[in-house]
Structure 1
Amino acid sequence: MSVRTLPLVFINLGGEMLYILDQRLQAHNTSEDNSEKVMNDIVGAMFSKDFMDELLKPQQLYSHRTLKTVLTRLAHASIMRLNPASMDRLYELMVMAFKYQVFLCPRPKDLLLITYNHIDTIREFVRHTPVVVNQVDETHRKIIEVYSSLPEGEFQLLRQTLLIFFQDMHVRVSIFLKNKVQNHNGRFALLTSGPVPHGIDVPGLIRMFDRKGREVRRGEFPTGGSYTSPIRQGCFELHGDRVIRLGINMYTGNHPEETHTSKSHSVKKDDVPNLLAKEELNLLARLMGSMKAENMPETETGFRINLFTTDQEEEDAGASGGAEQSLFGVINIQAMQDEHVATQLAQIAGQFAEGEEQPENLSSSKGDDLLAMMDDL
C-alpha cells in the first residue's frame, strides 16, 4: 500500500464535491454572495497550510468511513448544511466520478493530471478571493514538489492502492448510464482499444534477441483490440471520436439527472476487519467531543442543500438508512455535541491502546490532528 495516496484522494474527492455543490447551488438559485461564501469557506478550510502539511506526511489511506467523516466536516465548514441522506449521495457521486477518472488514466503518472485539473478548476471557484487563491497555489506547488520526483514504480503502487480503495464501490450514476460508460450492475464499461500510454509501443509485436542484444527475429500476436499511438493535447486524451476528460468538471452542462444514484446489488458490505479501528475511534471521539451543532456566527443564516429531486425523496432515502447503511452495514452515528457518547468512545479507544504499540506511520495523532485543525478553521 502506498503511503502517498491520501493527499491525492482528498484533493480529488474534494474537487468533485465542489463541482457538485456548485451545480446544486445554481440549481437552488442560491444568491451569488452565499454561493461565493460557501466556496471560499470550503476551499479555505480544504487548503489551509497546517491542514495540508499534515495531510502530505506519508501515511496509510483512510477507510471510506473515516474519509467520509473528514469530508463531511469539510462540507459543513461553511453556512451550508447537508443532511445525512444528501451527504451519502454526495459521497457516492464523488467516489464514482474519481473512480472513473482513475480507470481512464493511460498510465499511473497521469493521476497527477487529474489532480492538477481539479486544482485548476477549484482556483476558478475562488478567483475573486486572493487569500484563498494563494492557499490553492501553495498546495499546487507542494503537490508538484512531492509527486513529480516519484519513480514509476511508486505511481504504479499508488494506482493499485486506489483500485483497492474503489473495488467494492459499484454505485450506478445516471449520467454515466446515459453516456453508456457504466453498465447496469454499476461497473464501468472500459474499451480495449484506443491510444496506448505516452512512451509505450503499440502491442502486437514480438522481438527476439541473441546473446549480444541484436534483434534476430520478429513475430506478431493478436491483441484483441485496436491500439494507436497516443495523441495528447493539453489536459485531454484523444480516444478515437471520444475525448476523455481527466478531472474536468462534468456538471457544467445541462444534465438534470447528474446527482441521481442507485445502488447495485453487487456491492459488498465492509465486514473485513478494519486495521485502523483504533485511529477511527479516536477520530470520532474527538469529532463528537468538539463539534458544535451550530459553528457559524449568530449574524449569519445557514441554508440547506438537497441533492435529491424533492424533499420527500430525501426523507425517504434517510428513512431507508441511506448509503451508509447499505454500503457498510454499520450503525449511523450523529456527529453532534454529546459528552456522554464522547466519553464512551474515548474509553473504548483507550482500551484498544492498552498494551499495543502504534504501527509506524500510523500514530493515532495523525487523524486527530487533521480534524483538530479543521475545528480551528
Structure 2
Amino acid sequence: MSVRTLPLLFLNLGGEMLYILDQRLRAQNIQADKARKVMSDIISTMFNKKFLEELFKPQELYSKKALRTVYDRLAHASIMRLNQASMDKLYDLMTMAFKYQVLLSPRPKDILLVTFNHLDTIREFIRDSPTIVNQVDETFRQIVEVYGCLSEGEFQHIRQTLLIFFQDMHIRVSIFLKDKVQNSNGRFVLPISGPVPWGTEVPGLIRMFNNKGEEVKRVEFKHGGHYDSAQKEGSFDLYGDRLLTLGTNMYSISRPVETHVSGAPKNSALNTKESTAPNPLAKEELNFLARLMGRMEIKKTSGPEPGFRLNLFTTDEEEEHAALTRPEELSYQVINIQAAQDQQRNEELTRIMGEFEIDDQPQQKTSKGDDLLAMMDEL
C-alpha cells in the first residue's frame, strides 16, 4: 500500500461530506447563520494545522472502522447532531461518490485534480471567513509540495491503494441508479469509449521489455471500446470537460438521495464482522486515532448555543426504519466512556493502554495513553 494515500482519501471524503451536509441544511431550511456556523466549524476542524501535520506524515491506510470514527467526530464538531442511521447514510454517500470518481479518473494523477476540485468548492463555503480560507490555502500548498514531485508510478500505487480500500463497498445510491452509472448490484458502469488522456495511446497493444529496458515482444488485443486519441482535434477538450466534473458538487441541484445495501458474496468483507477476528493493526490504529483526534482542536463558543438534529432522510419515519433494517455488520456503535469522572476507571484504562504500547518506545507511553483517554472522553 502507498504511504501517501491517507491525505487524499481524507480530504476527498471530507469534501463529499460537506457537499451532502450543505444540501441537507438547505433542504431542511436550517437558519442561514446556524448553517454557516456548522460548515465553518467542521471545515475549521478538518483543516486544523496540527491535525493536517499528523495527516500528511507518510503512513498506511487503516481499517474502515478507524476512518469512520474520525468522520463521526468531524461531523459532530459543531452544534449539529446526526443519529446513527443518518450518519450511516452520510458515510455511504461519501464513500460511493469518491469511489466513482476514482474509477472514472483516466490517469492516476487525475486524482490530484479531483482533490483540487473538492478544495475549490470547500473554499467557497467559507469565503467570508479569511482565517479558515487561509487554512484551506495552506492545505493546497502542502498538497502541491508533497504530491507535485511524485512519479506516474507512485500515483498508480496511490490509485491502487484507494481501489483496494473501496473494493468491497457496493452501496446503491439513487442518483447513480437514476443516471444509470450504477447497476442494481451496486457496481459502477464504466465507459469503454471516448477520448484517452493526453499523451496516452489507444488501448490494444501490450509491449514486453527485458531487464535492459529493450522491447522484445508486442501483443495486440481487442479492447471492445471506441476510443479516440487525445491528439485528434477536439478530443482533448472532451477529455478535459469530463475531468473537470469529477469532484464537483453533484448536490448543487437538490435531488432526493437514498442508499441501499446491495447483496454481497458470502466471502465479501460486507458480510464479515470486523469484531469477530483480532485485528493485528489494532494497536497501531488506536495510537493513530489517539494522535489524530487528540490534536483536533475544536473551538468552543463563548456561551451555550442550542443544537439541532439533521436528518438525511425525507422523514423521521424513514430514518427510524433505516436504523432498524441496517445490517448489524454495517453499523458503527459509539461507546461513551466517561473516564475522567471515575478515577478507578481512569487507572484501569491507563493500564490497558500500557499493554498496547511498543516495548522499544517506552518514552512515549504516557503521552499516547493520555491521548487515547482524551479521545475516548471526546467520543
TM-score under structure 1 length normalisation: 0.81
Structure-2 change in CA distance of 1:156 and 1:205 (3 Å): closer
Aligned Cα root-mean-square deviation (Å)? 3.6
Shift of 1:261: 0.4
Structure-2 change in CA distance of 1:153 and 1:66 (3 Å): same
Structure 2 residue aligned with 1:6: 6
1:131 is the counterpart of 2:135: no
Distance in 1 separating the partners of 2:208 and 2:65:
50
Shift of 1:208: 11
1:1-377 equivalences under 5 Å are 1-204=1-204, 221-230=221-230, 231-233=235-237, 236-238=240-242, 245-255=245-255, 257-258=256-257, 260-266=258-264, 267-271=270-274, 273-282=278-287, 298-320=303-325, 322=326, 325-327=328-330, 332-335=333-336, 337=338, 346-353=350-357
Distance in 1 separating the partners of 2:162 and 2:329:
22
Contact 2:81 2:310 (C-alpha < 8 Å) held by counterparts: yes
Deviation track 1:239-278 (CA, whole Å, cap 9, x = no partner) reads: xxxx8721010001131x22x1011111332546533211
Shift of 1:356: 5.3
Contact 1:108 1:155 (C-alpha < 8 Å) held by counterparts: yes
Structure-2 change in CA distance of 1:208 and 1:356 (3 Å): closer
Contact 1:283 1:367 (C-alpha < 8 Å) held by counterparts: no
Shift of 1:206: 7.3
Distance in 1 separating the partners of 2:356 and 2:259:
37
Contact 2:195 2:236 (C-alpha < 8 Å) held by counterparts: no
Deviation track 1:278-313 (CA, whole Å, cap 9, x = no partner) reads: 13345678999999xxx7654311111001111122
Q: Percent identity?
A: 59
Distance in 1 separating the partners of 2:291 and 2:368:
11
Structure-2 change in CA distance of 1:344 and 1:281 (3 Å): farther
Distance in 1 separating the partners of 2:125 and 2:24:
14
TM-score under structure 2 length normalisation: 0.81
Shift of 1:139: 0.7
Distance in 1 separating the partners of 2:221 and 2:370:
50
**Alignment gaps of 5+ in structure 1:** 359-363
Q: How many residues align?
A: 351
Deviation track 1:63-91 (CA, whole Å, cap 9, x = no partner) reads: 11111111111111111111121111111
| Local SS of the residue matching 2:168 | coil
Amino acid at match of 1:314: E
| Local SS of the residue matching 2:109 | helix
| Local SS of the residue matching 2:101 | helix
Structure-2 change in CA distance of 1:199 and 1:80 (3 Å): same
| Local SS of the residue matching 1:108 | coil
Larger proportion of helix: 2
Distance in 1 separating the partners of 2:313 and 2:336:
22
Structure-2 change in CA distance of 1:234 and 1:34 (3 Å): farther
Amino acid at match of 2:355: Q
Amino acid at match of 1:307: L
Distance in 2 separating the partners of 1:51 and 1:286:
9
**Alignment gaps of 5+ in structure 2:** 265-269, 362-366
Contact 2:290 2:368 (C-alpha < 8 Å) held by counterparts: no
Moved more, 52-61 or 99-108: 52-61
Structure 2 residue aligned with 1:361: none
Structure-2 change in CA distance of 1:204 and 1:265 (3 Å): closer
| Local SS of the residue matching 1:262 | strand
Distance in 2 separating the partners of 1:346 and 1:315:
37
Distance in 1 separating the partners of 2:141 and 2:294:
35
Amino acid at match of 1:228: D
